């Protein structure tokens, strides 16, 4: 691409959005199948480009959690292609009737889903997001403008080139997928200030990146927050559920936002559960930052500080605290949670239902790993991100969350008196 300014990219995306909005559901599904096939056919190219990013990231010392998010191998490229196919197979939200009625004067009203237009995304070290957001945007009839950050520069360049070529081969304008990566921070600023061109902007990344986008943007932003995620083990939590859920939520992939960061244990269950869960975590290489009671029950515990209760580690670290009651646990979560995901492990249905009702997070669980907060796990095929705000959407964002609505009114000559 030879655009001279990021503004021209935004203008091309806006023009392309008119074409994508007019595509049929079959047109969009075929375009996504073409992208999935192209990803598979170009896996070696993608992995080679990603290798350059990973090597540069290690030289720059970006940390293992970001390296993990950055890395693409054959399995992850195959998963990207599979996710695109899942999105293609999902019901098309565009044109879906979500409400309506007939006015007393006979005018028929119908509220239907329509594409936003142009979706912008700013994210860090996550080349999978390049594909996921593009696929979701296209399936919902939108164009997309991407700013993926310097850490994944080579990976994103390859992925965008491959997707654009696939769209062209499928008869869809390649201008529906744009990147402003090559403009660096100027590209990010263009997205944040692209009123009239960017209809909605989604940031994904560190708390600092998200705060910058939310604060500086003059376009609508859907905030995807950090994940200071909690699990409460109440006095009735079964040993195997407590151990297995906490270990899975921390260890299965510690570098992601739905990994648990703080475990709260009811005091009556602490002598039983703290040693059991801590031992299982430590055997997986997890460092435990615990309060005084945890330290008294388990060896090799790092004394917890106030900062630990506030921290999204994104690593093999976890905070552990003993609480006197469900009320104290709820107070702790209200104070320190980022509103992402919280879970309780219990066989007491009253405690479970109270936890589900009173915890104010995007996803609240009972007796399940927080790792399930994910668009693919929720049946969305992929996700744009996990929204932790309350307007326009909340939780994992799929196809419907990339649409707005409009009202259609059908009359027969009515006028207002």
Asked, for residue 333, whether it belongs to a domain, the answer is: yes
Whether 138 and 115 map to the same domain: the answer is yes
Region 68-82 average pLDDT: 95
Does the pLDDT value for residue 3 go beyond 60? Answer: no
Angle at 228 between CA 222 and CA 232, to 5 degrees: 125
**CATH code, domain carrying 357:** 3.40.309.10
- Average confidence score pLDDT of the chain: 95
Provide the domain count of the chain. Answer: 2
DSSP letters for 275-343: HHHHHHHHHTTPEEEE-HHHHHHSSSPEEP-HHHHH----SSEEEEEEESSHHHHHHHHHHH--SSEEE
The answer to whether the bond into 14 is cis (omega within 30° of 0) is no
Q: What pLDDT, on the 0 to 100 scale, is given for residue 283? A: 98
Q: What pLDDT, on the 0 to 100 scale, is given for residue 205? A: 82
The DSSP secondary-structure symbol of 91 reads P
Does the pLDDT value for residue 1 go beyond 50? Answer: no
Asked, for residue 415, whether it belongs to a domain, the answer is: no
The H or E element containing residue 202 is: strand 200-204
Confidence class for position 2, pLDDT limits 50, 70, 90: low
- Lowest-confidence range among 85-94, 253-262, 355-364, 372-381? 372-381
CA 264 to chain centroid? 25
Q: What span, in angstroms and rounded, lies between the C-alpha atoms of 89 and 73?
A: 25
Whether 149 and 248 map to the same domain: the answer is no
Asked, for residue 417, whether it belongs to a domain, the answer is: no
**CATH code, domain carrying 177:** 3.40.605.10
Does the pLDDT value for residue 254 go beyond 80? Answer: yes
pLDDT more than 70, % of the chain: 99
Whether 362 and 393 map to the same domain: the answer is no
Whether 117 and 156 map to the same domain: the answer is yes
Between 390 and 283, whose confidence is greater? Answer: 283
Does the pLDDT value for residue 66 go beyond 90? Answer: no
Whether 41 and 88 map to the same domain: the answer is yes
Whether 301 and 260 map to the same domain: the answer is yes
pLDDT tens profile 190-239: 999 999 999 999 998 888 899 999 999 999 999 887 899 999 999 999 99
Whether 214 and 290 map to the same domain: the answer is no
Asked, for residue 151, whether it belongs to a domain, the answer is: yes
Q: What pLDDT, on the 0 to 100 scale, is given for residue 179? A: 97
Asked, for residue 276, whether it belongs to a domain, the answer is: yes
Whether 289 and 392 map to the same domain: the answer is no
Asked, for residue 294, whether it belongs to a domain, the answer is: yes
Strand stretches in 19-142, DSSP E = 97-102, 108-115, 118-123
Does the pLDDT value for residue 267 go beyond 90? Answer: yes
Asked, for residue 281, whether it belongs to a domain, the answer is: yes
Asked, for residue 76, whether it belongs to a domain, the answer is: yes
Whether 361 and 393 map to the same domain: the answer is no
Q: What pLDDT, on the 0 to 100 scale, is given for residue 385? A: 85
Q: What range defines the domain where residue 132 resides?
A: 6-224+384-410
Region 304-321 average pLDDT: 96
Does the pLDDT value for residue 160 go beyond 90? Answer: yes
Region 24-41 average pLDDT: 98
What predicted TM-score, i.e. pTM, was given to this entire model?
A: 0.86
Whether 238 and 106 map to the same domain: the answer is no
Between 43 and 68, whose confidence is greater? Answer: 43
Which burial class, exposed, middle or buried, applies to 415 when counting CB atoms under 10 A from its CB (0-12, 13-18, 19+)? exposed
Region 74-81 average pLDDT: 96
Whether 291 and 157 map to the same domain: the answer is no
Whether 21 and 67 map to the same domain: the answer is yes
Region 61-86 average pLDDT: 92
Region 326-350 average pLDDT: 97
> For residues 279 and 268, is the Cβ–Cβ distance under 8 A?
no
Q: What pLDDT, on the 0 to 100 scale, is given for residue 44? A: 98
Q: What pLDDT, on the 0 to 100 scale, is given for residue 300? A: 96
């Amino acid at each position: 691409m030879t655009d001279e300014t990021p503004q021209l990219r935004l203008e091309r995306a806006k023009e392309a959005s008119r074409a994508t909005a007019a595509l049929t559901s079959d047109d969009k599904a075929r375009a996504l199948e073409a992208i999935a096939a192209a990803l598979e056919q170009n896996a070696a190219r993608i992995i080679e480009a990603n290798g350059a990013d990973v090597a540069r990231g290690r030289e720059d010392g970006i940390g293992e959690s970001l390296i993990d998010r950055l890395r693409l191998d054959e399995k992850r490229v195959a998963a990207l292609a599979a996710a695109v196919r899942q999105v293609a197979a999902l019901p098309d939200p565009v044109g879906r009737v979500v409400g309506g009625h007939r006015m007393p004067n006979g005018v028929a009203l119908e509220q239907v889903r329509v594409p936003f237009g142009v979706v912008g995304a700013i994210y860090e070290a996550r080349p999978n997001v390049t594909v996921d957001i593009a696929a979701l945007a296209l399936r919902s009839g939108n164009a997309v403008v991407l700013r993926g950050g310097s850490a994944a520069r080579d990976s994103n360049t390859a992925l965008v080139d491959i997707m654009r070529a696939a769209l062209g081969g499928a008869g869809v304008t390649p201008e529906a997928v744009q990147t402003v990566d090559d403009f660096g921070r100027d590209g990010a600023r263009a997205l944040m200030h692209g009123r009239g061109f960017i209809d909605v902007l989604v940031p994904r990344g560190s708390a600092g990146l998200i705060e910058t986008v939310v604060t500086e943007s003059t376009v609508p932003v859907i905030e995807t927050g950090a994940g200071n995620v909690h699990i409460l083990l109440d006095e009735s939590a079964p040993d195997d559920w407590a151990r297995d859920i906490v270990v899975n939520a921390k260890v299965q992939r510690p570098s992601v936002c739905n990994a648990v960061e703080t475990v709260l244990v009811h005091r009556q269950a602490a002598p039983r559960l703290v040693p059991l869960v801590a031992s299982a975590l430590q055997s997986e290489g997890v460092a435990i930052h615990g309060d005084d009671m945890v330290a008294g029950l388990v060896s090799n515990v790092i004394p917890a500080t106030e900062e630990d209760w506030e921290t999204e580690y994104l690593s093999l670290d976890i905070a552990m605290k003993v609480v006197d009651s469900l009320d104290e646990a709820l107070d702790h979560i209200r104070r320190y949670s980022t509103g992402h995901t919280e879970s309780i492990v219990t066989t007491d249905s009253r405690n479970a239902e109270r936890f589900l009702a009173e915890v104010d997070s995007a996803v609240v669980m009972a007796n399940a790993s927080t790792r399930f907060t994910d668009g693919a796990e929720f049946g969305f095929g992929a996700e744009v991100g996990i929204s932790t705000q309350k307007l326009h959407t909340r939780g994992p964002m799929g196809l419907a969350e990339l649409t707005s609505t409009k009202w259609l009114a059908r009359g027969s000559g009515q006028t207002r008196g």
